[in-house]
Amino acid sequence: MGSLRSRVFLIYVVAPATVLLMLLGSSSGAVVKTQPVECESYSLQKCKTEGQCNVTMVKCESDSDKPSNCFVLWSNSTGSTVIEMKGCFSNNVACDQNECIDHSVEQRNNLNFCCCKGFQCNSQHKWIPTTTVPTEIEVPQKNTLDSAAIIGIVLAIGIVILLIVIGAVYILKQRKPSRFDSLSSHEPEPNSSSPCLDKRQIDLIQEKARGRFGTVWQGQMKAEEVAVKIFPMQDKESWQKEQDIYKLPRLKHPNILEFIGAEKHMQDFWIITAYHSNGSLCDYLKSHTITWMELCKIAESMARGLMHLHEEIGGGTKGDDLKPAIAHRDFKSKNVLLKDDLTACIADFGLAMIFEPGKPCGDTHGQVGTRRYMAPEVLEGAINFTRDAFLRIDVYACGLVLWEMVSRCDAHGGSVAEYTLPFESELGPHPTLEQMQENVVMKKLRPRINEKWRTHAGLSAICDTMEECWDHDAEARLSSSCVMERVSQHNRYPTTPLLIETNTDTPVKDSSYSI
């Protein structure tokens, strides 16, 4: 992976930069390219040692970097001029004069040197000491060359830096997905098979709850409070299941916990959702009693959430996304959260089951969920694996949650008992499977309905509804949409405990509060 990235970097960044530099280099070289020049050639040394004392003509080789010129080196120690050397002269020194004139103010070691450009321009030489710059044209020409080169170099460096930055950004973008997988509903990518987005900056503040799968933390994501459910490595399946559910089309609903994202970390897996400081309905009922109106609000919103989960929506035409029916399979007061306005939202979809039309429901193990909330057919291990059978199991549990709410409601005007879980009074805090089977299946035991609850018309109606939810005969149970219909009518009953009507089909309107 690393070497592939390096190759990409070399191909896309370094190579173009090099080519660019070469082009720039060659273009600046073109500025100083010269025509071949012919010069007189002579060497006093050769004359003395080899007897070659003739002045010859040589064609100077043209070099793209250095201009070709002629030169003369002579000495003048005794008043007479002795030519030491003549020939071609290739150097970057500006040598733009047509005659070979040494302008040096002083001789160095009794030697003079001049260079010139042009055909045999070194046949003559002169020493004319000058304090000023030889020609007015030479300097600007040299400067033009230098500036072009400098601009070229600066441009080249700029382009190389730009290419390196682009390359680095490209490589970083390639690397990100391999670090983690994440999905966001704030920044949705719902149908991607590999939903990879940036990890959010979340500070974990406080542990709020421990569940079957991992721990729920209160977290801070910028200005937003969030809940982070952390699944250990071994519960990856639940994490996957939970996000699969949240990602389903049209799942979003005011009474379904709002999903923010899922992240894969080094050691664990996260599901990020909205945070609700009231916590779960179970926690709330432990520390609060509720009024009749509060009960109505919680019950109706909870039923709306369950109805939405169970409902199959759309999918009739192409492009109309289908929301399949979903069974929760662990419905209980701990998995119902209370928002600030005391409306409910359903959470924890780690055991949920999706029912795609025309597809088998897939799951082979029916006895899942929390023992205390298991319907008789689940405890018996006698469920038939159909969609409706699973939905009815949720409705049974919903009946128990309605009982928990009524048990903490003060509408009847009498004393309200301490909070207990369903069957806690009868079977204690940790009933075994056998105890549950014996009592719920064999004896058809259900949580006790207190007579004083029946003194309040509304509460009494809710008690009727819960009984229809936990019917032993699964097929006789209400559907979640019927539960919703029923509880949405319940707030018509007066707040006072007066039992006005015994027929709960015709609730009495109370003009003292709005519906």
Catalytic residues: 330
With 0-12 / 13-18 / 19 or more C-beta atoms within 10 angstroms meaning exposed / middle / buried, residue 45 is exposed
Q: Which of residues 261-280 bind ligand ADE (CB under 6 A)?
A: 273-276, 279-280
Q: Is the CB of 202 or the CB of 347 nearer to ligand ADE?
A: 347
Q: How far is the CB of 227 from ligand ADE (least distance, A)?
A: 3
Q: How far is the CB of 193 from ligand ADE (least distance, A)?
A: 27
> From the centroid of its chain, how far is CA 370?
34
Half-sphere exposure of 188 (CA within 13 A, CB side): 10
C-alpha 487/C-alpha 316 separation (Å) is 30
Q: How far is the CB of 384 from ligand ADE (least distance, A)?
A: 32
Query: Which residues lie closer than 8 Å to 4 by C-beta, 6 or more apart?
Result: none
Q: How far is the CB of 275 from ligand ADE (least distance, A)?
A: 4
Q: Which of residues 245-264 bind ligand ADE (CB under 6 A)?
A: 257
Q: Which amino acid is at 356?
A: E
C-alpha 144/C-alpha 330 separation (Å) is 83
Count the Cβ atoms, other than its own, within 10 Å of residue 163: 18
Q: Which of residues 280-319 bind ligand ADE (CB under 6 A)?
A: 280
Q: Is the CB of 273 or the CB of 437 nearer to ligand ADE?
A: 273
Q: What is the x/- site pattern for ligand ADE, positions 329-348, by CB under 6 A?
A: --------x---------x-
Taking CB positions, which residue lies at the least distance from ligand ADE?
227
Query: Residue 381 gets which letter from DSSP?
Result: T
Report CA-CA distances (Å) from 503 to 466, 477, 494, 507, 508. 16, 20, 15, 8, 10
Q: Which of residues 153-212 bind ligand ADE (CB under 6 A)?
A: 208-209
Q: What angle do CA 195, 200, 204 make, to 5 degrees?
A: 130
Can residue 227 be called a binding residue for ligand ADE (CB under 6 A)? yes
Q: Which tokens belong to 55?
A: 């002045």
Closest residue by Cα to residue 449 from 436, 432, 468? 468
Q: How far is the CB of 378 from ligand ADE (least distance, A)?
A: 24
Report CA-CA distances (Å) from 231 to 190, 206, 210, 217. 21, 16, 10, 11
Q: Is the CB of 227 or the CB of 400 nearer to ligand ADE?
A: 227
Size of the site for ligand ADE (CB under 6 A): 13
Q: What is the x/- site pattern for ligand ADE, positions 203-222, by CB under 6 A?
A: -----xx------x------
Q: Is the CB of 276 or the CB of 477 nearer to ligand ADE?
A: 276
Count the Cβ atoms, other than its own, within 10 Å of residue 140: 10
Q: Is the CB of 121 or the CB of 202 nearer to ligand ADE?
A: 202
Can residue 350 be called a binding residue for ligand ADE (CB under 6 A)? no
Q: How far is the CB of 348 from ligand ADE (least distance, A)?
A: 8
* Residue 236: strand, helix, or coil: helix
Q: Is the CB of 330 or the CB of 471 nearer to ligand ADE?
A: 330
Site for ligand ADE, rule CB under 6 A: 208-209, 216, 227, 257, 273-276, 279-280, 337, 347
